[in-house]
């Protein structure tokens, strides 16, 4: 019996040590968790000035005034840009005909005469795309009357020259054909089988959908238009949300979570009017490009004048409210809606003069299906020529899914010049 006493004492001692270790681990876990939430709370309300070792209220950061010594609170901020010229290259109509612009003649379709693969690569890079550039030819006889002249063609030895500089005007194409470009494998997804009245869906079906997060919390939706650029709405960035370091972009997820890619540029349209919701568009540049795959893939920017018909079927996606004043969705939602004609949307029974040329309307006039607050900035897409095109970004509306109050979206067609100009200036 006396021989068992030391063993019992040893077992008791080991048990006490294990309990102490376990207690320390639990306490440390609690402290780390508490520290994380305290850090998040502080970051949501204050900006830390590292040079002067002090906190300032977050609303003082990026307000145009230097509140930290050295002005570090004004260094990494949202910016605004207003384009004052015509971006000289575009793809036009559903055929994606390549056109270049000159002040004297206007828009001219590019003939296939002398065209090479290198011209294709150079032109797509000018539009901000470097992956999978392709060109095809289209007979002039198949063009609409607006695109049958004047024409332009590349000069010899201009393969690496910006396309609007590399061309010379001609009256007709000797080859009888023009160039059509496809600059990326955008808008292509596997077979498809907030949104108020919507249904759960998978990110693989809409891989351009992203969540814009401020301090790890979903704030708005957005659309990948290249591995590094996201189109969203300007109204997602009021004065207190203009510090770049507070933002991240979550991609490739069907269920809402936190984290994602850091951001090194947020650029809103310089003409954005918060009172009228006009020019409601912004671009975010990721610090590093995403890796394209089944769950992360850009949507296509539409060719100019795609001319989507009234009542055309559209899709809107996001993690917005499932009903007005309800809870946000935890899983990605999609809704099938229709384009509402401009004459209907600007009628007195709908929105009247509140809808500008920079806006389009979509939804179901009788109500029941719509995009709600949390979907702001998210994609409105239209399928054409076997690819999905971004034709709108969720902007505003009266309530959610109410009769004669459809969703109003930024008209991407009207913003293409601004988008391409911003991307070119920030490559």
Q: Tokens 């690819």 — which residue?
A: 387
Cα 284 to Cα 129, 138, 248, distances in angstroms: 16, 35, 10
What CATH number is associated with residue 63? 4.10.400
Query: Which secondary-structure segment (H or E) carries 109?
Result: strand 106-110
Same-domain pairing of 155 and 100: yes
Taking residues 394-416, report their average pLDDT.
92
Same-domain pairing of 244 and 145: no
- State yes or no: pLDDT of 194 exceeds 50: no
Per-chain mean pLDDT for the chain: 89
Same-domain pairing of 198 and 222: yes
pLDDT at 402: 85
Same-domain pairing of 420 and 325: yes
Cα 97 to Cα 141, 225, 306, 421, distances in angstroms: 13, 19, 11, 19
Same-domain pairing of 69 and 166: no
Domain of 178?
Answer: 89-182
Specify if 4 maps to a domain: no
Per-residue pLDDT of 309-350, as tens digits, reads 999 999 999 997 767 667 778 999 998 999 999 999 999 999
Taking residues 357-370, report their average pLDDT.
88
Specify if 351 maps to a domain: yes
Per-residue pLDDT of 70-99, as tens digits, reads 888 888 899 999 999 999 999 998 899 999
Same-domain pairing of 119 and 206: no
Same-domain pairing of 153 and 278: no
Residues known to be catalytic: 235, 280, 376
Q: Which residue has the higher pLDDT, 195 or 157?
A: 157
Same-domain pairing of 229 and 213: yes
pLDDT range class, residue 48, cuts 50, 70, 90: confident
What CATH number is associated with residue 120? 3.10.250.10
Same-domain pairing of 321 and 427: yes
Same-domain pairing of 258 and 312: yes
pLDDT at 69: 85
Same-domain pairing of 41 and 151: no
Specify if 310 maps to a domain: yes
- Beta bridge mates, 362: 339, 407
Which of 122, 157, 182 delimits the end of a domain?
A: 182
pLDDT at 379: 97
pLDDT at 197: 60
Same-domain pairing of 313 and 352: yes
- State yes or no: pLDDT of 36 exceeds 60: no
| Count of domains forming the chain | 3
134-139/167-170 β-pairing: unpaired
- In contact, 97 and 88? CB cutoff 8 Å: no
pLDDT at 129: 87
Which of 157, 182, 207 delimits the end of a domain?
A: 182
């Amino acid at each position: 019996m006396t021989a068992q006493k030391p063993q019992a004492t040893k077992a008791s001692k080991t048990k006490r040590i294990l309990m102490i270790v376990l207690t320390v681990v639990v306490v440390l876990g609690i402290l780390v968790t508490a520290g994380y939430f305290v850090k998040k709370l502080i970051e949501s309300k204050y900006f830390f000035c590292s040079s002067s070792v002090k906190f300032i209220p977050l609303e003082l950061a990026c307000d145009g005034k230097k509140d930290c010594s050295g002005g570090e609170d004004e260094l990494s901020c949202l910016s605004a840009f207003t384009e004052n010229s015509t971006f000289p290259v575009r793809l036009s109509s559903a055929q994606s005909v390549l056109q270049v612009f000159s002040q004297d003649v206007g828009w001219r379709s590019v003939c296939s005469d002398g065209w090479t693969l290198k011209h294709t690569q150079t032109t797509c890079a000018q539009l901000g795309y470097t992956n999978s550039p392709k060109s095809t030819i289209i007979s002039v006889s198949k063009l609409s009357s607006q695109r049958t002249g004047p024409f332009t063609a590349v000069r010899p030895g201009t393969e690496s020259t910006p396309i609007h500089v590399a061309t010379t005007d001609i009256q007709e194409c000797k080859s009888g054909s023009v160039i059509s470009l496809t600059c990326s494998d955008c808008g292509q997804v596997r077979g498809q089988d907030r949104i108020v009245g919507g249904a759960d869906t998978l990110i693989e079906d809409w891989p351009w959908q992203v969540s814009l997060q401020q301090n790890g919390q979903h704030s708005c939706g957005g659309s990948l238009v290249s591995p590094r650029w996201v189109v969203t709405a300007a109204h997602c960035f009021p004065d207190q949300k203009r510090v770049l370091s507070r933002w991240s972009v979550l991609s490739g997820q069907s269920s809402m979570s936190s984290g994602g890619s850091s951001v090194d540029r947020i650029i809103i349209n310089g003409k954005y009017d918060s009172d009228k919701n006009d020019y409601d568009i912004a671009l975010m540049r990721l610090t590093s490009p995403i890796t394209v795959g089944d769950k992360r893939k850009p949507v296509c920017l539409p060719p100019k004048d795609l001319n989507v018909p009234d009542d055309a079927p559209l899709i809107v996606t996001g993690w917005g409210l499932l009903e007005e004043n309800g809870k946000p969705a935890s899983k990605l939602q999609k809704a099938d809606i229709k384009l509402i004609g401009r004459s209907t949307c600007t009628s007195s029974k709908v929105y009247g003069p509140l809808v500008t040329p920079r806006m389009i309307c979509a939804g179901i006039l009788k109500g029941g299906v719509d995009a709600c607050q949390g979907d702001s900035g998210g994609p409105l897409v239209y399928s054409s020529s076997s690819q999905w095109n971004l034709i709108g970004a969720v902007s505003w509306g009266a309530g959610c899914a109410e009769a004669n109050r459809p969703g109003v979206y930024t008209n991407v067609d009207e913003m293409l010049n601004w988008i391409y100009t911003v991307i070119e200036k920030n490559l």
